[in-house]
Chain A
Amino acid sequence: MATLLRSAVLNPEAYRTVRAADSDRPSKTRSFSSLAPRLDRLNGKTIYLIDTGFGGSGRFLDQVEAWFAEHVPSVTAVRRRKSGSIFRDDTTDLWEEIREKGQAAILGVAG
Chain B
Amino acid sequence: MAVATCSRTLEQEYGIPTAPISTFEFADFLSQDLRFHGVPLRVIYTSHPVVGMPGSVLRGYIEGKDPATDLTVIDEVVEALTKPVSDLEFTGDFAPVSRTGVRQTLLEPDTENNLQRLFYDRGWTDGLPVVLPTEERVAEMLIGTDRAPDEVVAEIFLHDTQEYLQFTVEMVAIVGVMAGARPEHLPVLLAVASTGHPSIPGSTTPFASMLLVNGPIRNEIEMNSGIGAFSPRRLANSVIGRAWTLLTTQWGYLRLKKQFWTSQGNPIGYNNMCVAENEERSPWGPFHVEKKFPAKESVVSIFRGWSFVNNVVGSSQRSVGQDVCIQLGALPGLFSAATLILDPLVAWHLQQNDGFQTKLDFCHWISENFKMPASQFWGTDLIHMMMAPLAEKGVEPYASWKKLPGDALIAPYNNPENINIVVVGGETSPMWKVADFGYVVSASVDKWRAKPMRDGCADGSCGLPDEP
Q: Do A and B come from one complex?
A: yes
Asked whether B407 is an interface residue with its Cβ less than 8 Å from the other chain, the reply is no
Q: Which residues of B contact A17 (CB under 8 A)?
A: 165-166
Total interface residues on B, using CB and 8 Å?
109
CA distance A61 to B11 in the complex (A): 20
Shortest CB–CB separation between residue A16 and chain B, in angstroms?
Answer: 4
Asked whether B3 is an interface residue with its Cβ less than 8 Å from the other chain, the reply is yes
Q: Which residues of B contact A96 (CB under 8 A)?
A: 14
CA distance A42 to B167 in the complex (A): 51
Question: Could you tell me if A10 and B26 are in contact, using CB atoms closer than 8 angstroms?
Answer: no
Asked whether B271 is an interface residue with its Cβ less than 8 Å from the other chain, the reply is no
The answer to whether A99 and B16 touch (CB under 8 A), given A13-B250, A21-B163, A110-B21, is yes
Q: Which residues of B contact A67 (CB under 8 A)?
A: 59, 62-63, 74
Q: Which residues of A contact B113 (CB under 8 A)?
A: 2
Q: Which residues of A contact B16 (CB under 8 A)?
A: 36, 95, 98-99, 102-105
Select A18's contact among B51, B59, B135, B166, beta carbons within 8 Å: B166
Select B135's contact among A8, A91, A106, beta carbons within 8 Å: A8
The residue in B8, B17, B384 that gathers the most chain A C-beta atoms within 10 A of its C-beta is: B17
CB nearest neighbor in A for B83: A38
The answer to whether A10 and B62 touch (CB under 8 A), given A18-B158, A110-B30, is no
Asked whether B358 is an interface residue with its Cβ less than 8 Å from the other chain, the reply is no
Asked whether B410 is an interface residue with its Cβ less than 8 Å from the other chain, the reply is no
CB nearest neighbor in B for A88: B2
CB nearest neighbor in A for B136: A7
Question: Could you tell me if A60 and B38 are in contact, using CB atoms closer than 8 angstroms?
Answer: no
Q: What per-residue 1/0 map shows which CB atoms of B375-406 lie under 8 Å from chain A?
A: 00000010011101100110000000000000
Question: Could you tell me if B388 and A25 are in contact, using CB atoms closer than 8 angstroms?
Answer: no
Q: What per-residue 1/0 map shows which CB atoms of A1-18 lie under 8 Å from chain B?
A: 011110111111111111
Which 7 A-B residue pairs are closest in the complex by CB-CB distance? A111-B23, A108-B21, A15-B171, A55-B51, A7-B134, A110-B22, A56-B51
Excluding A21-B162, A107-B7, A109-B3, 10 further A-B contacts by CB distance (< 8 Å) are A12-B250, A20-B163, A35-B11, A35-B17, A47-B81, A55-B381, A63-B61, A86-B385, A95-B16, A110-B26
CB nearest neighbor in A for B62: A63
Q: Which residues of B contact A50 (CB under 8 A)?
A: 6
CA distance A55 to B23 in the complex (A): 12
Q: Which residues of B contact A42 (CB under 8 A)?
A: 78, 81-82
Select A5's contact among B93, B115, B163, B381, beta carbons within 8 Å: B115
Question: Could you tell me if A111 and B22 are in contact, using CB atoms closer than 8 angstroms?
Answer: yes
Select A88's contact among B5, B103, B163, beta carbons within 8 Å: B5
Q: Which residues of B contact A12 (CB under 8 A)?
A: 124, 133, 171, 174-175, 178, 250
B88-120 at interface with A (beta carbon < 8 Å) = 89-90, 93-96, 99-100, 102-107, 109-115
Shortest CB–CB separation between residue B30 and chain A, in angstroms?
Answer: 7
Select A38's contact among B21, B84, B158, B171, beta carbons within 8 Å: B84
Q: Which residues of B contact A41 (CB under 8 A)?
A: 82
CB nearest neighbor in A for B30: A110
The residue in B10, B30, B39 that gathers the most chain A C-beta atoms within 10 A of its C-beta is: B10
Q: What per-residue 1/0 map shows which CB atoms of B161-179 lie under 8 Å from chain A?
A: 1111111101100110010
A55-89 at interface with B (beta carbon < 8 Å) = 55-57, 59-60, 62-64, 66-67, 81-89
Question: Could you tell me if B385 and A55 are in contact, using CB atoms closer than 8 angstroms?
Answer: yes
Select B82's contact among A10, A40, A87, A108, beta carbons within 8 Å: A40
CA distance A51 to B13 in the complex (A): 20
CA distance A29 to B93 in the complex (A): 7
CB nearest neighbor in A for B103: A14
Asked whether B18 is an interface residue with its Cβ less than 8 Å from the other chain, the reply is yes
The answer to whether A5 and B39 touch (CB under 8 A), given A15-B174, A63-B59, A107-B18, is no
B167-199 at interface with A (beta carbon < 8 Å) = 167-168, 170-171, 174-175, 178
CB nearest neighbor in A for B386: A86
The answer to whether A60 and B50 touch (CB under 8 A), given A19-B166, A34-B11, A110-B2, is yes
CB nearest neighbor in B for A96: B14
Q: Which residues of A contact B42 (CB under 8 A)?
A: 35
Q: Which residues of A contact B63 (CB under 8 A)?
A: 67
Q: Offer 29 A-B interface pairs, CB within 8 angstroms, sorted by A.
A: A7-B135, A8-B109, A9-B132, A11-B104, A12-B178, A16-B171, A18-B163, A21-B162, A32-B40, A32-B87, A35-B39, A36-B15, A37-B15, A39-B82, A47-B81, A52-B3, A54-B385, A55-B51, A56-B58, A60-B58, A66-B59, A82-B6, A83-B389, A89-B8, A104-B17, A106-B81, A108-B20, A108-B22, A110-B26
CA distance A28 to B94 in the complex (A): 7
Question: Could you tell me if B74 and A64 are in contact, using CB atoms closer than 8 angstroms?
Answer: yes
Question: Could you tell me if A85 and B389 are in contact, using CB atoms closer than 8 angstroms?
Answer: yes
CA distance A10 to B164 in the complex (A): 22
Asked whether B46 is an interface residue with its Cβ less than 8 Å from the other chain, the reply is yes
